[in-house]
Structure 1
Amino acid sequence: MSFFEMNFSFSPMIKKQQVFIKSGLVLLFGFLCYYFFIDTKGIKSLEPHFSIASEDLVELYSDNEKKADNLYTNKIVEVYGTVKEISYLNDRKTIILAGNSENSNIICDLNENQLNKLNQLKNNQTVYIKGICKGYLKDVILLDCYIDTLKNNE
C-alpha cells in the first residue's frame, strides 16, 4: 500500500474532525454574537411591558403576590419612584426605591454600565428605572436595570 492510499483511508476521520471543529466555531460565534450584540442592548433598547409607581408595584405584590407574579415576573417593567438608598455592597450597584411601607421596597440591581448615571443620583430624588421583574421576597426585585435620565429631567 502506498503512502497516498493510506492517506485516503483516513480521510473520513479527518472530515469528521473538520465538521466537529467547524460546528464548535459556529456555536462559539453564535454565543459571542448573543453576548456582545443582543445581550448588551437587552433591556435598554426595549419598550417596557408596564410602567408603574414604585409604591403601587409594592402594594400589588403585598396584596396578592401570585396575581402580581403572573402580571410582572420576567417582564420588562419601568418603575418610577423616590431613591431611598444607593448601595455598592458586594461589588453590586443597587438602587432601593421607596415602597408603600418602611419594610417593603424595590431593589433595582443595575446593569454594570450604569455607574456614570448612578453617580449623578441622590437620595430622595425621583427616578425612572427599567428592569426585569424577578418577583417578591419582602421587596420587589428588578434585575439588569437601566436608569432613564431623559425622564429624570422632566
Structure 2
Amino acid sequence: MNIAGIASASGLHMVSGASTSAPPQQKMTNLFNSIDTAGSGTITQPQFQQAFQTKNPPAVFQKQGADAIWAALDPSGSGTVSKQDFVSTMSKLMVSLRAEGTSPGGSASLSSSLQSLNQIDPTTVSTGSPPGSLINYSA
C-alpha cells in the first residue's frame, strides 16, 4: 500500500484504500493495520522502519525522517508502540506537519518549532501588551 500514491489538487496525500474525506485517525488506523501484519496490536521500530522505506510516506513525513517520527511515537524508548498511541500521535503529526508545510515558514522542522516554543519566556511580554503578543514574540 502506497500512502502517498494519491494526491488531491490541494496536494494532500491519503492512504490508499481510504476515502479522500477520511479523517487522519482512519488513515493512520489503516496504516497501522498494514504494518502490524501479525495483528499483535503493537509495532516495533524495525517494523516501522521497514514500512517507512516501502510505503512511500508523504513528503512532510519523509522530510522529518523515520528516526524523528519514531522518536515522537515512542518517547519512552520502549521499542514498541500501541495502535492507540500510533494513531493518536501520527494523526497529530500529520495535521501539524501539513500545516507547517503550508505556512510561510513551513520549511522548519517539527523539532525546531517545538524548540522555539520552549524558548519563549512569557515574563518578557509586558503586562500592557495587546493580546497575541506572546504568540507574535520573535526570538
TM bracket (short chain) = under 0.3
Structure whose CA Rg is larger:
1
TM-score, normalised via structure 2 length: 0.23
Higher strand share: 1
